[in-house]
Amino acid sequence: MELKFPYAIAIGIPVILLLALLTYGVRKKYKDGRKVANTEFIEKTPYFKRKLLEYRLCSIVVIVSLVLALSLLMSLIARPFRSKQTITEIHNRDIFLCLDTSGSMFHVDLEVCEKLKDFVSGLQGERFGITIFNCQTVTLVPLTTDYDYIIEVLDQIEEACQIAIDVEENGKYYDTEDYVKYQYIIDGTLSYAYDSGSSLIGDGLASTVFQFPELKEDASRTRVIILATDNELWGNPFVQLNEATDLCTKYGVKVFAAAPEEVVDYENYKACIESTGGRLFTLASSTMAKDIIKEVEKTDTSVLYKSDITETEYPEKLVLLLTICMCVHFVVSRRVKL
């Protein structure tokens, strides 16, 4: 137990005791009233003795309760508290999920998002973000440690992908609610210009690279991108895939790629991904998403330790005791008419 203002007790308690001694310790001289002769008989009666004892006891209770109440008040002013030091382990790693949301990628996106939720819930201090792209890139979640929100966004992406799969493969129809949910992974990623293209992978990857803060200033952080695409490029991107992976290599960003069983220009795509220090996984493996997560978990991380000191005050007991003392004081003082 510590005190924020210990001087309140150091000064207040002696002053209270001194005032109590000056007020009740000095016997007052007789001034008013009439003296009565021959009171010896009355003082010897059991009734008088009982009343005198009651008066003296009540007087002591009144004085003690008042002194205690004032002392407790000084203790409250001193503000007692307990301090606790907690040390939190923070992993010095940033992870971005970069999803191609073109029509051919819904199965891959669905599996990746489904498996990543358990991974995200187990993070300790790592920052996680989400971008989606088609012919344009949209940042759904900037780097954050709000894992509950990330899982909520992954749920929304997963739901949108499932709706799209049901419509395209199972012949279901959108209702208004489903259409709104589906648009969650479409809005902002499409440009309706004729030559805007589709699955502009280089643009999506390069845009995600520059979502990492302090790329040049802070080289100590581990940076990872989980890229989901089938490499089926249509159109003319501003940044080619090999240029985007060169950027990743330059800034030390590892790319782990998830793809369907059929990947366009597989060998070239694989070479680009592996040039960053990452690996390519496809749906040909039934454990694709789990394998990616294992590889991400292996990436080197530097651990930081954050020390926090929390102060907690406990005034409830003192307030309760103060209230009891004041109640006793007022009740007993009325009894003895002090």
Same domain (yes/no): 215, 273: yes
Query: What tens digit of pLDDT does each residue of 79-126 get?
Result: 888 888 777 666 678 999 999 998 888 889 998 999 898 889 888 878
How far is it, in rounded angstroms, from Cα 320 to Cα 258? 63
Residue 182, both tokens: 């589906």
Question: Are 198 and 227 part of one and the same domain?
Answer: yes
pLDDT of 299: 84
Same domain for 165 and 302, yes or no, is: yes
- pLDDT tens digits, one per residue of 247-273: 999 999 999 999 988 888 899 999 999
* The pLDDT of residue 28 is above 60: no
Q: Which CATH number characterizes residue 151's domain?
A: 3.40.50.410
What is the C-alpha separation between 70 and 17, in angstroms, rounded?
10
Q: For residue range 173-195, what is the model confidence (pLDDT) as tens digits?
A: 777 788 888 888 888 888 766 56
**End-to-end CA separation in angstroms for the chain:** 37
Identify whether residues 209 and 251 lie together within a single domain.
yes
pLDDT > 90: percent of the chain: 28
Q: 136 and 275: one domain?
A: yes
Domain count within the chain: 2
The pLDDT assigned to 96 comes to: 95
Angle at which helix 7-20 crosses helix 46-78, to 10 degrees, equals: 160
Backbone dihedral angles phi then psi of residue 213, each to the nearest 5 degrees: -75, 150
What is the predicted pLDDT for the residue at 316? 84
Which residues form the domain of 21?
Answer: 2-27+35-79+315-336
Do 114 and 242 lie in a common domain?
Answer: yes
Rounded CA separation 208/130 (Å): 9
| pTM for the full predicted model | 0.64
Q: pLDDT at position 309, please?
A: 81
Region 154-181 average pLDDT: 83
pLDDT digits 0-9 by tens, 191-237: 766 567 788 999 999 999 999 998 888 877 889 999 999 888 888 88
Interatomic CA distance for residues 105 and 100, integer angstroms = 7
Spatial separation of the C-alpha atoms in residues 84 and 322, rounded to whole Å: 27
